[in-house]
Amino acid sequence: MKIYNTLTKQKEEFKPLKDNRVTIYTCGPTVYDFFHVGNARVFITFDVVRSYLKYRGYDVVFVQNFTDIDDKMIKRAKEEGITVKELAERFIKEYFTDADALRVKRADVHPRATEHIKEIIELIEKLIEKGYAYAVDGDVYFAARKFKDYGKLSGQNLEELEAGARVEPGEKKKDPMDFALWKAKKEGEPCWGSPWGEGRPGWHIECSCMSMKYLGETIDIHGGGSDLIFPHHENEIAQSEAATGKPFARYFMHVGYLNVNNEKMSKSLGNFFTVREILKEYNPEVLRLFMLSTHYRSPINFSRELMDQARSALERLYNALYALKHLQEVTGDRELNQEERELLDRLRSLKQKFIDSMDDDFNTAEALGAIYEIVREANTNLKDTSSKKLVTYTKELILELGDILGLFGDFGKEELVDEEILKLIEERQKARKEKNYALADKIRDELKDKGVILEDTPSGVRWKKIK
């Protein structure tokens, strides 16, 4: 299988460092607010990467941190009149609520920066010892120029890096390219004791430290959004490789931006929707299907129109599954005939197409294409005279492939009806009997708003719930 590696700017054959074991670290959220749909793209992408690697038989160890101390955290805590710790506790909880709703599986470890201060200090001490870092008045900086490979990830040379570098007010670095490992305490800020006085860690060092602690000095895959390539991941490489003399991560994967009107969705621009808001309107799988319909490295534009299209596509997929479930009940158990064997061959090659697409740098858009083709084959070729074996195979295949993408988790849950819905369906049936089609349509719309889709079949009305 191939992965596009930002380090080499090309697709490379993926081979884990150690046998079958794959170690992944992704940069998680700064927990000062609810996360937005742009952040969710990264979480969903790596959720799929992880579950596909597992599907392919790898033993995956996955770590995603929480940044629970930085300028944004301090500022927001002040505004809210609470401590940074209270703020972090609150939004870590909210993160899990939303991530669970999106069916993003929990990482094996979710380490927090503030719980690794001791290890962070040890790493900084090591960098000072090796001559890569220096302390000035309680701050510690990394001397970027000392690390000869600085710029290798973002592909920038020294002049370009110098042109972009600047010294912020209050910083005491010797060179604009240097960056902070430790920041001396400012009045009213949370702080920890250190050999350089009270202070707090910089942002980049936490990830180097926690990645190495939980996954080893060299890991297989390091990921995040493309905005992290520079300076965050560049600095992580410099710090870690300067300390160990070993490669930090073998493959860097970066997720493209989720945009709104061609501008990156971000809190600072104010053009964001939280996942919490979006899930009031859409089923979580609609958001997943929407995201996965584009390759993870390409930009996506977020819009209601595209979300609505994803909703219709998801409905069609569920419809096909329900139709297959119905067929399972009415078909007979017999061996496949010639035509059916040919159909089975086509279904098997579509499964292979799914795998080939995912093997090609996790091309979920094409992989979904294979699922749509399987559904098309099912819709046109399977009927109540088909072999039950083939019907079952097709249904299970769609569920198996969908599961890798975190889809169809609602399948089979339609029996959990609420009373109100049943009552409305009954009223609509009554209206139809009385030929009061205006009322019947009104009720159908009302149900639709509740996410209930009705289907009138010769054997009566069937329905399912998709938000």
Ligand X SMILES: Nc1ncnc2c1ncn2[C@@H]1O[C@H](COP(=O)(O)OP(=O)(O)OP(=O)(O)O)[C@@H](O)[C@H]1O
- What are the residues binding Zn ion (CB under 5 A)? 27, 207
Q: Any idea how long the chain is?
A: 467
Task: Confirm or reject binding of residue 266 to ligand X (CB under 6 A).
Answer: yes
Q: Where are the alpha helices (DSSP H) in 141-299?
A: 158-164, 203-215, 234-244, 275-281, 284-292
- State yes or no: residue 310 binds ligand X (CB under 6 A): no
For residue 207, say whether it is annotated as part of any ligand binding site: yes
Closer residue to ligand X in complex, CB, 290/408: 290
Binding residue for ligand X, selected from 5, 6, 23, 30, defined by CB under 6 A: 30
Q: Please state, in angstroms and rounded to a whole number, the distance separating the CA atoms of residues 351 and 47.
A: 21
Q: Which is nearer to ligand X, 71 or 115 (CB)?
A: 71
- In angstroms, the first-to-last Cα distance of the chain is 35
Q: What are phi and psi of 60, to 5 degrees?
A: -105, 130
Q: Which does 207 bind (CB under 5 to 8 A by kind): ligand X, Zn ion, none?
A: Zn ion
Q: Does 38 bind ligand X (CB under 6 A)?
A: yes
> Contact region for ligand X (CB under 6 A) — 181-189, 265-273, 405-413, 435-443?
265-273
Selected range binding ligand X among 24-32, 320-328, 352-360, 442-450, rule: CB under 6 A: 24-32
267 among annotated binding-site residues = yes
Report the partner that residue 311 touches, choosing among Zn ion, ligand X, none (CB closer than 5 to 8 A by kind).
none
Give which of 391, 414, 413, 398 is closest to 330, Cα–Cα: 391
292 binds ligand X (CB under 6 A): no
Tell me the C-alpha distance between 217 and 57, whole Å. 24
202 part of the interface to ligand X, by CB under 6 A? no
Residue 448, SS3 per DSSP: helix
CA–CA separation, 329 and 10 (whole Å): 49
CA distance 8 to 258: 24
Residue linked to tokens 């499964």: 351
93 labeled part of a ligand binding site: no
Contact pattern from residue 380 through residue 409 relative to ligand X, giving x for each residue in contact according to CB under 6 A and a dash for the rest: ------------------------------
The answer to whether 209 is annotated as binding is no
From the list Zn ion, ligand X, none, partner contacted by residue 267 (C-beta under 5 to 8 A by kind): ligand X
3-class DSSP state for residue 350? helix
Residue type, 400: E
* Residue 287 binds ligand X, judged by CB under 6 A: no
Mark residue 224 as left, alpha or beta (left: phi above 0; alpha: psi -120 to 50; beta: remaining).
Answer: left
Nearest to 313 by CA among 394, 356, 368: 368
Binding site listing for ATP: 267
Interaction site with ligand X (CB under 6 A):
27, 29-30, 38-39, 41-42, 224-225, 227-228, 255, 257-258, 264-268
Binding site listing for Zn(2+): 27, 207, 232, 236
